[in-house]
Amino acid sequence: MNQPAPSPSSPKLPVNLAANPKLSSWLKFSPQGQVTVSPGKVEIGQGIVTALAQIAADELDIDISRVQMIRASTAASPNEGVTSGSLSVQQSGRAMRHACAEVRQIFLQLASERLGVDIASLGVEDGTISGPGNVTTSYWELAEEVSLDRDATPDVKPKPATRRALAGNSVQRIDIPDKVFARARFIHDWALPEMLHGRVLRPQNARAKLTGLKDGNVRTIAGFVAVVRDGSFAGVVCETEHGAEAALQALRKGAVWADGEPLPDESDLAAFLKAAPSETTIIDKRTASSPGAKKRTLRRQYTRPYIAHASIAPSCAMAQWNGDRVHVWTHSQGVYLLRTDLALVLKLPAENIIVEHMEGAGCYGHNAADDVALDAVLLAKTTGGRPVRVQWSREAEMSDAPFGAAMAIEIEADLDAAGEIIDWRHSIWSNGHVARPGRAAQPALLAGFEVENPFPRMISTNPPQANGGGSDRNAVPLYDFPSWQIESHRLTTMPIRTSALRTLGAQGNVFAIESFLDEIAAERGEDPVAFRLRHLTDERAKDVIRAAAKRARWKPEKQPGIGYGIAFARYKNTGAYCAAVAEIEGAGDIRVRKLTLAVDVGEAINPDGVINQIEGGAIQATSWVLKERVRFDRQRITSTNWTEYPILRFSEVPEVEVELIQRSEMDPVGAGEAAHGPVSAAIANAVFDALGVCVRHLPITRENIIAAMEQAP
Amino acid sequence: MPSVRFRLNGVEMDVDADPDRSLLDILRGQLGMTGSHFGCGAGECGACNVMIGDRAVAACDTPLWSVADKDITTIEGLGTPERPHPLQRAFITEQALQCGYCVSGILMSAAALLKRNPKPGSREVKEALDGNLCRCGSHNRMVRAVLRAADEMAAE
């Protein structure tokens, strides 16, 4: 929205390259025939390093096996902010492609001088540069003569899509062999020399303050090194992990806590969200040129609960002090952003801190990775320079990490006499969806709120619509309703900690919009596919709907106990297009039998990687919709293990089919968040189809279906 | 400290440790074998699954004393890049993971299944993996990979 039109006269550098123009920060050549490529984006289980390696190999005309991908670190990597929002291929990919194109040109220029032939007559094959008369040289031969310590210029044009050899092909992911052969790649499996183990003591009751701490028995534990206390932050350090666990149990016995802060009533989230103090923003408004005559108004309310990241690994970090300098190893999504917050808490210049990325388990947003990094830094202060590894418990991971925000969404639609939508009003009540580190004058790290002189707890905010919005993400309809108003009420208190979880508000909004559309279509007796197509003008949107419908043989004949639903969204209204058809069965416990999706991400760099992300997103969304809900009483989070917070199991996973619409001429966009909204709504619509009841409160459990039936007119 | 004897990936071991400690803690903390992953510490997620005999069990929930004289196989003993187990080959071919943290446990559950039942159907694979959690949503690829490995093993 409102982006200035690019000026055709002056080519511009990709944003991330303009911010990090030095070419040597992106790639380096070795005389031994290797290229090290150093993106600022990080692997979080989504396959980004492979896609970036493909882009680099393509643009440089080298075999991908020559590319060595370097993990991001504040010591050397370009600063590409946070790896989130399905933007890595867009942002980092574009910068990488441009940087490599320019580097190739620099090499060709030098080769042209050395070989005495015109640059235009030179070609590159796997790094060997050759020209007329069999003259050859190579990147590797010239590597020591070329300095890449120079700034990128906007003049070099990357190759056209038709000349790329690797992009568009399903290259095997470069990290997978390590993972099936159990070679240490995860931070959890790493050990530094002389490493110690730490554990942090946190209250059971939300935000309770530590008023007393007796550590009598702790010191007798074998390998005991230190107890650390700073205000309400407390922890232990031991020689072994096993000792640290034992010490934590002992420390817990000697801890005295004051009362915590009350939590809302989980049985009526909408009432809590609507009553809490909030700040209102009009997100978008469209006025009809000639308003239609309203016959009646339909009003529906939808909710989604708090959702946990629930990564399979608890968060982990390592830290090592050397005087007033500290080195941190983390699976954070943003090494520079974490460094900024660490500097705030430690009151150190950022240059004193190195933050280095290592892979963690699948990351779906702002989880506890950053929190545990500060925990490790604080505990490591006491060890005389020995590194400390801290790993959270499953319980901590499920209760102390930020959650995806609960949402209440109310939509009113004015219909004319023909049942056509003439006005649409969409209101959201929710905590903000982002409280990430490194973006404010105060830190966003948990221990920062607990130390003796604590920073105020950060209240989540929402990114602006131009960046995709937060609570309001995907709230502006893509349909051609003549008028609408979209408003967002962001809570200004935050009893339950929320921050970025995959799709931010998009899953809730798409669930609400697409559910309501099916209800309106049903009232009109109109087919949901036809209804959507009739209200869309964007052909790429229509194409994914048609493709998903066709592939799912929409609409199969009615069978008892089986339902079919369709839904569509374009992620952030600017990203990937995705349509999903769900086939479900059951009357109480719903089983999703099959999901059929069609997706358009523009140029798919690694098609199988895109399909993998879409399949994964579809299955995760099924889990959210059928099972997931953070549980709490008035004192504490109670869903702290896999029994209390169940996720989808192998026996419950639907068959998933994905059709990828390749558009190699279009800019690539990310795929990681495209499926959640459409799949959530398609399942709800399939339940409506099967049972004739609209379940408007997630998750779609037996309990919520019964409640919906009782409320139905 | 009493010692507990068992066979680990074909090698006789004699471990001096508190017999109440978990097998996972011994593997990772004492023996430096970090292929088996900690996920929950309560036997609920399968990330730490190892094979004892031909059964997959959660190492986090298995006390050291209980494995005396047993035959234990961990992911490190399943195969190597030079001599991969058919399951490892199949997981690469099918690109059957996203983050891969759960994969070592899943490979061990699958290996145990194939020992008991060399020709499983997809329903049996799903049953065998039902105690393993995957958060990235790679389930269907993993099932396909296990079926592929079973086919390969049958052909060999």
Cβ(B86)–Cβ(B149) under 8 Å?
yes
Residue ranges of the domains in chain B?
3-77, 79-155
Same fold, A187-259+310-399 and A407-433+470-711: yes
Q: What's the DSSP call for residue B28?
A: I
Identify the architecture of domain A15-179 in CATH.
2-Layer Sandwich (3.30)
Q: Chain A contacts of B141, Cβ < 8 Å?
A: 612, 615
pLDDT band at A400 (very low <50, low <70, confident <90, very high): very high
Q: How confident is the model at residue B1 (pLDDT cuts 50, 70, 90)?
A: low
Amino acid letter for position A190 = W
What is residue A359's DSSP assignment? B
Note which residues in 17-76 of chain B have CB less than 8 A from chain A: 21, 25, 28-29, 32, 34-35, 37-42, 44-45, 47, 75-76
Q: What is the pLDDT of residue A2?
A: 43
Query: pLDDT value at position B68?
Result: 97
Task: Find the helix or strand (DSSP H, E) in which A345 lies.
Answer: helix A335-346
Overall average pLDDT of the A60-80 stretch: 96
Cβ neighbours of A339 (radius 10 Å): 26
**Start-end of H helices in chain B:** 23-25, 75-78, 86-93, 103-116, 122-128, 139-155
Topology, domain A187-259+310-399: Aldehyde Oxidoreductase; domain 4 (3.30.365)
With helix as H, strand as E and coil as C, how does A289-319 read? CCCCCCCEEEEEEEEECCECCCCCCCCEEEE
Return the domain boundaries, chain A. 15-179, 187-259+310-399, 407-433+470-711
Mean pLDDT, range A534-538, rounded to an integer? 98
Please tell me which residue of chain A has the smallest CA distance to B142. Answer: A650
Residues 6+ apart with CB under 8 A from A102: A23, A152, A153, A156
Q: What is the pLDDT of residue A713?
A: 59
Residue B47: which of A180, A185, A312 has the nearest Cβ? A312
Does the pLDDT of residue A1 top 60, yes or no?
no
Predicted pLDDT of residue A216: 80
Answer whether residue A215 shows pLDDT above 90. no
Q: Please give the residue of chain B at the shortest CA–CA distance from A315.
A: B39
pLDDT computed for residue A245 by the predictor: 97
- Amino acid identity of residue B136, one-letter, is C
Mean pLDDT of A571-576: 97
B140 within 8 A of A618, measured Cβ to Cβ: no
CB A336, CB A375: distance < 8 Å: no
Residues of B with Cβ-Cβ distance to A191 under 8 angstroms: 32, 34
Contact B1, B28 (CB under 8 A): no
pLDDT beyond 60 at A8: no
CATH fold of A407-433+470-711 = Aldehyde Oxidoreductase; domain 4 (3.30.365)
Assigned CATH topology for domain B3-77: Ubiquitin-like (UB roll) (3.10.20)
pLDDT digits (tens, 9 = 90+) for A651-668: 999 999 999 999 988 989
Token representation of residue A185: 């790649």
DSSP A113-136: HHHTS-GGG-EEETTEEEETTTEE
For the range A292-296, what are the long-range contacts, defined as Cβ-Cβ under 8 Å and sequence gap of 24 or more? A292/A416, A292/A420, A292/A422, A292/A482, A293/A416, A293/A417, A293/A422, A294/A414, A294/A415, A294/A416, A294/A422, A294/A423, A295/A415, A295/A416, A295/A417, A296/A414, A296/A415
Q: What is the pLDDT of residue A9?
A: 55
Confidence of residue A254 (pLDDT cuts 50, 70, 90): very high
Domain B79-155 fold: DNA polymerase; domain 1 (1.10.150)
Chain A residues close to B107, C-beta within 8 Å: 180
pLDDT tens digits, residue range B56-92? Answer: 999 999 999 999 999 999 999 999 999 999 999 999 9
**Per-residue model confidence as pLDDT tens digits over A599-657:** 999 999 999 999 999 999 999 999 999 999 999 999 999 999 999 999 999 999 999 99
B19 CA: distance to closest CA in chain A (Å): 13
The crossing angle, in degrees rounded to 10, of helices B139-155 and B103-116 is 40
Quickly list DSSP for A635-703.
SSB---STTTS----GGGPPEEEEEE---TTSPP---TTTTHHHHHHHHHHHHHHHHS----BSS--HH
Put simply, whether B144 touches A (Cβ < 8 Å) is no
- Give the three-state DSSP class for A212: strand
Contacts of A394 in chain B (CB under 8 A): 39-42
With a cut of 90, say whether residue A47 has pLDDT above it. Answer: no
User: Per residue in B11-41, pLDDT tens?
Assistant: 999 999 999 999 999 999 999 999 999 999 9
Is residue A3 scored above 50 in pLDDT?
no
Phi/psi for A349 (5° steps) reads: -65, 145
Burial class (CB in 10 A: 0-12, 13-18, 19+), A293: exposed
Give the residue among B150, B24, B137 at the shortest CA–CA distance from A242.
Answer: B24
Q: Is B102 on the interface with A (CB under 8 A)?
A: yes
pLDDT digits (tens, 9 = 90+) for A442-474: 999 999 999 999 999 999 999 999 999 999 999
Chain A residue nearest residue B30, CA to CA: A240
Which of B92, B101, B139 is nearest residue A180 as measured by Cβ atoms? Answer: B92
Q: For A189, which residue in chain B has the nearest alpha carbon?
A: B34
* Angle (nearest 5°) at CA A377 between A371 and A382: 140
Phi, psi of B144 (to 5 degrees): -60, -40
User: Do B99 and A618 make contact, defined as CB atoms within 8 angstroms?
Assistant: no
- Which chain B residues touch A173 with a CB distance below 8 Å? 95
| Per-residue model confidence (pLDDT) at position A337 | 98
Closest-CA distance of chain B to residue A692, Å: 29
Tell whether B103 is within 8 A of chain A (Cβ).
yes
CA distance A148 to A24: 5
How far apart are the C-alpha atoms of A561 and A378, rounded to whole Å?
Answer: 56
Mean model confidence pLDDT for chain A? 95
Does the CB of A651 have a partner CB in chain B at under 8 Å? Answer: yes
- pLDDT of res. A558: 85
